[in-house]
Amino acid sequence: MTWVAGQGVGQFIDLGCGMPTSPNTHETARAVIPGARVFYLDNDPIVLSHLNALPGVRPGITVLDGDVHDVDKILGAAAEPLDLSAPACLIMGALLHFIPVETGRELVASYAAALARGSYVILMAAVAAGGSAGSAYDEYSSEAARLYNHSEADFTSFFEPLELVPPGSPTRGFGGPGGPRWRRPNSAPAGLTSASAECASPPGRARD
């Protein structure tokens, strides 16, 4: 996000944002652009209560209870506080591992198509690498919160409608003790266990 804000983008749409941490999206963006506006979306009541309780986040911060699959509804709501005719940054930072790969591709493509020229997309997904991590995925996954352990090829396919910003290829970093933490433009959330991994990438740019 820091890198994207450094390109002059001051609008952020954070889908499935999850429990707020610090620095959060608005804090990171406003460290570069003080007037940056952020639209947060989640459907977890506990997450929403924490987001709405954040001190000093308004004006310029919108929190919506919604389903990411309702693309038109979400974009319509985002268009009220944001100017979607101008560049914006779409973030799916803790979301795609809850969505089947085919549906994920459709969602990324639908949201990216609605962004203005000069916009960016940041995608991350938790993935399991190794036997113990795979077991943790199985244990965490349930009918209420199904997890999808996307392959690197699956993760790369989410970027098909986008032009990758150099260095131009999604990367995998492992979350085990002492493991690499290379990320651009920002660190991914922690994995499920110390043996888990996260896929992240340079941001994708919406094609003209």
Tokens of 9: 């983008």
pLDDT of residue 143: 56
CA dist., res. 204 & res. 156, Å (int): 11
Go through the chain and tell me how many residues it has. Answer: 208
The segments of the chain whose pLDDT lies below 50 read: 172-202
Tell the burial category of 200 from Cβ atoms under 10 Å away from its Cβ (0-12, 13-18, 19+).
Answer: buried
Homologous superfamily (CATH) for 2-125+151-171+201-206: Vaccinia Virus protein VP39 (3.40.50.150)
Integer Cα distance of 91 and 27 in angstroms: 15
For 27, the token pair is 């804090």
Greatest Cα-to-Cα distance within the chain, rounded to the nearest angstrom: 46
pTM greater than 0.85 = no
Instruction: Spell out the domain ranges in the chain.
Output: 2-125+151-171+201-206
Structure confidence at residue 168 (pLDDT): 58
Instruction: Show Cβ contacts of residue 86 under 8 Å, excluding neighbours closer than 6 positions.
Output: 11, 116
